[in-house]
Amino acid sequence: MTVRSRRQVLASLSMAAAAVPLLGFSSAHSLTPDKEPKVLLPPRLKRNDTVGLICPAGAAFSKETVQITIETLEALGLKVKLGRHVFDRFGYLAGTDQARAEDVNAMFADKGVQGILAIHGGWGCARLLPLLDYKTIQRNPKPLIGYSDITSLLVAITAKTGLVTFHGPVGAATWNKFSADFFTKVLFDGEAVLFENPKEIGDNLTIVKDRITTITPGTARGRLVGGNLTVLSSIIGSDYLPHWKDAILFLEDINENVYKIDRMLTQLKLAGVLDEVKGVVFGKCSDCDPGSGSYGSLTLEEVLEQHLQPLKVPVYSGAMIGHITHKFTIPVGAMAEINAANGTIQLLNGVVV
């Protein structure tokens, strides 16, 4: 190719690139559209409603766990419909990506199903995000509930459709009175719930269990967005996250060494997430220890302080959110006010209609 023809090719490529319109994407996440969909509230659950059970992540290795989930929902006055692929298995996954996505899409499309509950988490929900039918989901709003790996589905559906989803118990969780009460207050009764840790002293002279730690005092209002820290950090930069501007970020995790929590919070910082939020609630990080051989490790408290205090927004840790037996049901995408000194999250309105 001659010098002249090479210049002509380069000039043509430059003109073609200039002709491509710039998409309206935010600077923090280059794939996230600037305009978010309108908030969409799902219908409340009622006695005799049918809840669809799905396994969108790990395989259901125990039929007994599924049966216990069915009996739990029946005890709440609900009926149950099993997803077609609940008992599928593809290695550690509950069937192929297509099969698991099919169950999610089918439950939203099914007019006879009023709510959707994941039986458990594990790993695999992020693989489904390109396969979900977001238009059908938006046309058929209903509560979707789960936590841990289900975080991917919750935030993606909220981001794409505006539908408020619920970071709450999975079917295989412990459904004690504490967890069941928050579940029913939010999803059945439509209350503007105050999420507050239990304050049982027992035989002690002060509260010992489930304490909150104020990192930065103050109050803040914003949309609740968050979930499992590992899951969120793994999909940063994708097209499946809501905007973080003026949001209240809530986080939880399990079985992660402190340096990994440090690494993931650093990722949120470098991605611009932490600079945009109006407040942070860090729930429980179960079994998040320095790890063997970690001589001189930072503590979890030190890591949280180093990353979150400089934000100069209200922050507290210890909320009943995470891989724990007693947990809140937190609506993703709903407006709330946090009080970091008191360790509370107050919904500004009911989140079901």
Give me the active site residues, please.
Answer: 148, 252, 323
- How far are the Cα atoms of 76, 123, 227, 327 from residue 198, in angstroms, in the given order? 22, 31, 21, 11
Structure tokens at 322: 């995470």
Cα(209)–Cα(198) distance, rounded to whole angstroms?
9
| Euclidean distance between CA atoms 325 and 323, whole angstroms | 7
Nearest to 159 by CA among 140, 137, 175: 137
Q: Which of 49, 39, 35 is nearest to 107 (CA)?
A: 49
> Please, what's the largest Cα pairwise distance for the chain?
89
- Which of 14, 350, 19 has its CA nearest to residue 190? 350
Tell me how far apart the alpha carbons of residues 235 and 154 are, in angstroms, rounded to a whole number: 13
CA–CA gap between residue 348 and residue 336 (Å, rounded): 5
Q: Helix (H, G, I), strand (E, B), or coil: what is residue 213? A: strand
| Both structure tokens of 267 | 């990722």
